[in-house]
Structure 1
Amino acid sequence: MTHPDAPPTGRLVLAATPIGNVEDASPRLRRLLAESEVVAAEDTRRLRALAARMGVTIGGRVVSYHEHNEGERAGELLDVVRGGGTVVVVTDAGMPSVSDPGFRVVAAAVEAGVPVTAAPGPSAVLTALALSGLPTDRFCFEGFPPRKPGERARALAELATERRTLVFFEAPHRLGQTLAAMADAFGPQRPAAVCRELTKTYEEVVRGPLVDLVAWAVAGEVRGEIAIVVGGDVGHPVATTADLVAEVLARADAGERLKDAVADVAETARVPKRELYAAALAARTR
């Protein structure tokens, strides 16, 4: 029994919503939407449409909570919890805070000592990983790659020697470009899978080496929500800068132009040419 003088206890709940199939909505999600004092939604119209498909009447106040207002809205939501109410946070699909709003209010709740929990459920990241056919024992989620080609190439180059399976999100109109950039960064034969419209009517998982996926993506119009899963680097141990410089200098001593040797070694090792050239010049003058 709660002591009459005890302060009211509320809670903040991150609740996963279906990523496609409405039948994946959990009984707990249904109850939270019906009983919570406040439902904070990434898109209030989509939330109401989802609730209608679920046959659930939202019982509390619905407020918007998205990337543009989550910082300022967090305090308001935590005030409800401090007052003893339940606030449920939902996004358009999947688990809040995973490439979606939610992180800031959780961080604020943790800092303020406000109770926070989760109603787990569908996840595009885990579903794509499970269906990819690639190793699942160790993986990392990288979200959306940078949109600008140069930034994207640099970001992918940093992941080229990552041994864990990689999971990305991508927009349909950038899929071909991103797969081509991945083939350049990871190698054309790196195994991968494109997972499209997961749990929906037109669900599709296309598996194969990156070079084949590039050809598939540019051959037709790919639509829907997309996750890309790429196998980790299982090749030879990563060469150190000293190893690469030694190879460059050995080839230069054998008569090859230094710049040509640097360009070839840098491309094979997937390292910046400028940095390798500078290191080779420095080693040569010692």
Structure 2
Amino acid sequence: MVYTVIFEVDIKNNQILFFHTGSLSVKLKAGVLYDYEDFLEQFIIDNVYEEEKIYLYQNFNIEALRSASVNKRENITCDFRLRPEGNREYRWFTMSLMLPHGAGGAVGAILDIHEKKIHELEMQHQASHDAMTNLLNRQAFERAVFSYFMQGEKTGAYCLMDVDNFKLVNDTRGHAYGDIVLMKIAKILTENTPKRTIIARYGGDEFCMFFPGIDRAEQLEPVLIKILENVRKEEFDGMQLSVSVGVSFYPKHYTEEKNSIGKYADVALYKAKESGKDSYCFYSEEMGEF
């Protein structure tokens, strides 16, 4: 089915003229002038994926077009999901507008890019996620946490965790079963942490979690206790496993030195291991520097 839509917008007079409406909508007719703002609002309300309605309107409302034209912006392009008339599922489209006519007008198109976009998203996912556990990888985790800092957010808890005696798992059950252990623990983490938690497989048997908005031990302890309990009671082919966790806080343990907050968490993790494993430890100045 052909969904391509081609149109021209008279920015000055708030009108839109369609040259080709494809199969996107039976309501639109080629060669007929429509009120542009009315068309855009109805199109968004009827067809566009809920989370992208505001995003699309902010970029393409008539005042945004007039501003773009006055500022000599050459084009506006946005990818979004919509459900064409008669379809049950959303597909990816791109809406592109070129402004070659100064303040007077613009030409645009709505194109189906579903297959290309899905492939692009799959490639992005593969680049940012650990293939085994489907958690974020180390690089993506660090980007996400740094982005949180740069947004001016005030607090957060940084946790570094690893599996106690994991070498024994690989030595006695083999590396294939070691992978199963890591996948089970990843599932425990995702099921026992708040939705906003950023979770990653940091490498080997190490995991990392960042809890936005948490800056006190008493806020985090119930979550850590639940994680430790669930790992302890999980079935691991007759083995009882445990994890240890080191915790540091943002901004208290954050400096301009790269990943300083992670290094403080690592010091706390070492102390948790030293105190007998199967435990968590919050960094304090008495533990010294990393």
For Structure 1 versus Structure 2, the TM-score category normalised by the shorter chain is: under 0.3
Which structure is higher in strand share?
2
TM-score normalised over the length of structure 1 = 0.23
Q: TM-score, normalised by structure 2?
A: 0.23
Relative contact order higher in (CA < 8 Å, ≥ 6 apart) = 1
